[in-house]
Amino acid sequence: MLPDDQNQSPALPRILIVGAGSRGNAYARAVSESGQGIVVAIAEPIAFKRNLLGSKYIWGSKNSPSDGQEFEDWRAFLQWETNRRTDAAAGRQVPPGIDGIFICILDEQHAEVITALGHLAIHTLCEKPLATTLKDCLAISSAMSSQQGGQSAIFGIGHVLRYSPHNMLLRKLVLEDQIIGPILSMEHTEPVGNWHFSHSYVRGNWRKESTTAPSLLTKSCHDIDFLLWMLCSPPPGTNHPPHVPASVASFGSLKQFQQSRKPASAGTATNCLRCPIEKTCTYSAPRIYYNNQLAKGNTDWPVNIVNPEIEACYNDHGKEAAKEMLFKTLEIDYDKSTSPEEIHKRPWFGRCVWESENDVCDDQFVLLSWNDDPLPGTANAGLPCPDGNDPPARMAKTASFHMIAQTEKQCERRGRIYGEKGEISYDGTLITIYDFSTGQFQHHHPHRPGGGHGGGDYGLATQFLKAINAVKSKEMSIEEAQTTHLGCTLEEVIRSHALVFAAEEARLENKVVDWQQWWDKVNVAADASTSETPHINAQQS
């Protein structure tokens, strides 16, 4: 839908995108295609990226932005919105405000932005992860809650795995239909993809824990959330408390992408464009970004991450000019004279993967266990009973998650779920059920729409907009819309992120973490730091 067409529907939620990178563009596209909302403003410090998103989704390629449609950053929007509200309170005519914000900037900036904008009570969807520290996650929870303890606006998180048709069907089969009976164990894998990991977590923005966060958080926090969604959160239509894990363990390290693994034949080269084995190296930057992408006409991800101006150069001046721009970016390197601050503040996409400054895990397991947890006598209402008997108490179970970089598949999750009556395998495209009693297989091929994460990007954006519409029309309260349309509470967001931090503590200290004891300590520490930080009960939602 074109921007001019969108502006003819003023009743739809009006959306501000903060950050015009790949995720900002993905959500802008999802909002535009959904028909459930309109993108009306962009906040982005890089003028080229700001104009690119704005001309595509807001003011159109033949127009220029009007007042309130573009901001150099979120602070400029905050000032504009503050002035707008002041004028409105004084009875002056003002332009319409913003109904929802998509936060799509660097992970380490999320907390500052959300806490600064929280008092505006604007519905917010934040790209994952929520923040890079547990302290900041709790600060965001506080900012999105009113002084009376309730939420002041809808809050969504980019846990897009919940919103793909494949995963929604999988959860229905397991939790609502109980097709394999009570769950005993689950194993889930995220194959990151060998060159994808080198792009984002060796050469890219997420390569160092000290400047961003562990890869378990930045890459796989929505996989941990997926496990809790399947094994902890109550089924729809029930009033069950969550079945929280009892213990957490984790093992992992940086295995391949370190200097000790560098081929001797590469010598002292630190950049692909000056390396004697570039032509045969698996991680050749010219092959990854030019041969496999730009040479085939792709100017989108990952090429536009290397240089966001390549798409315009390709369209205006042709492939050779775009190639020259790409290679000029790839040849940029650092040496011993470059300050650490300069090295840390930007990606280095032509850098040798064995000479980079990366330190995040490229291979990690997380292990979870649950104890038997009988439901209260009145809490079973609404749980289906396929055999006509009383539903069993929630049983002890285990789960494993494996994040691995060295894979052929790229982010195409796969796994198995083991139950008392059968088992299920899944891979994002096919769901296969095996029934122990009949020896028969069932195969499901869920609809796989376009867009990222098997349609999860589109699904999340659509549900967030539906939630805003429900509140805006006074059809539902904030809490009702949050539960009904997003299906994920702020408390669940905090819990799944907290579990990542607990897993990292377990990995680094080589121990098994008792979840309840660990969470009690978190609340004690929160009380010591601020009296305003809300308690998030590990046992109840």
Question: In three state form, how does the secondary structure of 180-230 look?
Answer: CCCEEEEEEEEECCHHHHHHHHHCCCCCCCCCCCCHHHHCCHHHHHHHHHH
* Among the listed residues 17, 16, 23, 58, the one whose alpha carbon sits nearest the alpha carbon of residue 305: 23
Q: Which residues of the chain have pLDDT under 50?
A: 1-9, 147-148, 378-382, 386, 388, 531-541
Give dist(CA 22, CA 305) in Å, integer.
8
38, β-bridge pairs: 14
Residue 533 has a pLDDT of 42
Residue 528 has a pLDDT of 58
Domains, the chain: 3-159+456-486+514-529 (3.40.50.720), 162-257+358-449 (3.30.360.10), 270-344 (no CATH)
190, β-bridge pairs: 403
Q: Return the sign of the alpha-carbon dihedral for residues 261, 266, 267, 270.
A: negative
Residue 452 has a pLDDT of 66
Residue 381 has a pLDDT of 42
Residue 380 has a pLDDT of 44
Residue 529 has a pLDDT of 58
Question: In three state form, how does the secondary structure of 319-345 look?
Answer: HHHHHHHHHHHHCCCCCCCCCHHHHHC
Burial of 156 (0-12, 13-18, 19+ CB in 10 A): buried
Tokens 């999750």 belong to residue? 413
Q: For the whole model, what pTM was predicted?
A: 0.90
Residue 526 has a pLDDT of 61
Give dist(CA 242, CA 519) in Å, integer.
15
With contact defined as beta carbons under 8 Å apart, do 310 and 48 qualify?
no
Residue 462 has a pLDDT of 94
- Give Cα 406 distance to the centre of its chain: 21
* Phi and psi torsions of 178, nearest 5°: 50, 45
* Among the listed residues 38, 114, 6, the one whose alpha carbon sits nearest the alpha carbon of residue 465: 38
The amino acid occupying position 476 is M
Residue 527 has a pLDDT of 61
